[in-house]
Amino acid sequence: MSKKLAIVTGASGGIGKSITLRLLKMGYAVTGISRSIKEEDFNNDDFNAIQTDLSNEKETLKLCENLKRTSVHILVHCAGFGRFEPHEELSPQTITDMTFLNLTSPMLLTNVLLRSLKNNDGYLININSIEAIKASKFAGVYSATKAGLKAFGDSLFEETRKSTLSITNINPDMTESSFYDELRFETSKKENEKLLSSDIADAVEHILNMRKGAVISEYTLRSLNFGIAKKKL
């Protein structure tokens, strides 16, 4: 009997990698998607890597075409990036890439895989951000994309309630990962002032272990204490 398939975007690092490792541990076959991912990154016979730039429209549409006949049980949208500057300082390309990667590509992938997810009693999980449910300065575009992805998930939840598809929006607070590598700030060094990527993997495992008749439609994780660290320039 073949294993149930999970597809995870942004699987090469951070939250996406932790979720991928957790799903493999739980007995799923996983296809991980990112620009640089390699199968040897996971050294697991149940892992398959697809290298695609999900901020690129042509590459994303080609991937969608290739996935049309895929039977999938879990789809996790984790790929994304953020830039936090005064809005007038953002380049048009940054705005375009952020919007496509964080919002448009998840909608396109869901479009092509939704029927399979519904037929397989599946799970659609959006890794959003705490910025999806609150307003922060210098985060206009990023917050808009994450709030948009949350609204997309909420709407699909209502649309598909006659099926056995479970849809969850996960809204993590600042999580220690490579997300901050190119930013001017990062997570605190204190354990109580940040989330770990494994915390979000715990949330995914919790969602998948719920009785199928119950759905955690929204899952917000925050650090116990507030903390942020500014990088030395």
Which CATH number does the domain housing residue 206 bear?
3.40.50.720
User: How far, in Å, are 13, 34, 40, 221 from residue 101 at the CA level?
Assistant: 16, 11, 25, 22
Domain span at residue 99 reads 5-230
Rounded mean pLDDT, 75-84 = 96
Give residue 232's pLDDT: 75
| Mean of per-residue pLDDT scores for the chain | 96
- Model confidence at 185: pLDDT above 90: no
d(CA 182, CA 82): 9
Q: What type of residue sits at position 79? A: A
Question: In one letter, which amino acid is 58?
Answer: K
Cα-Cα end-to-end distance for the chain? 54
- Specify the 3-state DSSP secondary structure of 127: strand
Q: Is the pLDDT assigned to residue 54 strictly greater than 80?
A: yes
Whose CA is closest to 173, among 44, 15, 8, 35? 15
Q: How far apart are CA 137 and CA 205, in angstroms?
A: 33
The CA–CA distances, whole Å, from 162 to 64, 114, 118, 156, 222 equal 25, 14, 10, 11, 32
Residue in 34, 82, 69, 79 with CA at minimum distance from that of residue 185: 82
Tell me: pLDDT of 194 over 80.
Answer: yes
The answer to which of 30-34, 114-118, 166-170, 176-180 has the lowest mean pLDDT is 176-180
- Dihedral angle sign, alpha carbons of residues 58, 59, 64, 65: positive
Question: Which pLDDT score, from 0 to 100, does residue 212 have?
Answer: 95
What stretch of H or E contains 25? helix 14-25
Place of tokens 């910025």: 131
Q: Which two tokens stand for residue 84?
A: 């936090």
Q: State the pLDDT at residue 233.
A: 62
Per-residue model confidence (pLDDT) at position 183: 85
Express each pLDDT in 142-157 by its tens digit.
999 999 999 999 999 9
Q: Of 53-57, 107-111, 143-147, 175-179, give the lowest mean pLDDT range.
A: 175-179
Across 4-8, 39-43, 87-91, 208-212, least confident range: 39-43
Partners of 51 in the β-ladder: 34
| Rounded distance between C-alpha atoms, residue 152 and residue 127, angstroms | 12
Number of independent structural domains in the chain: 1
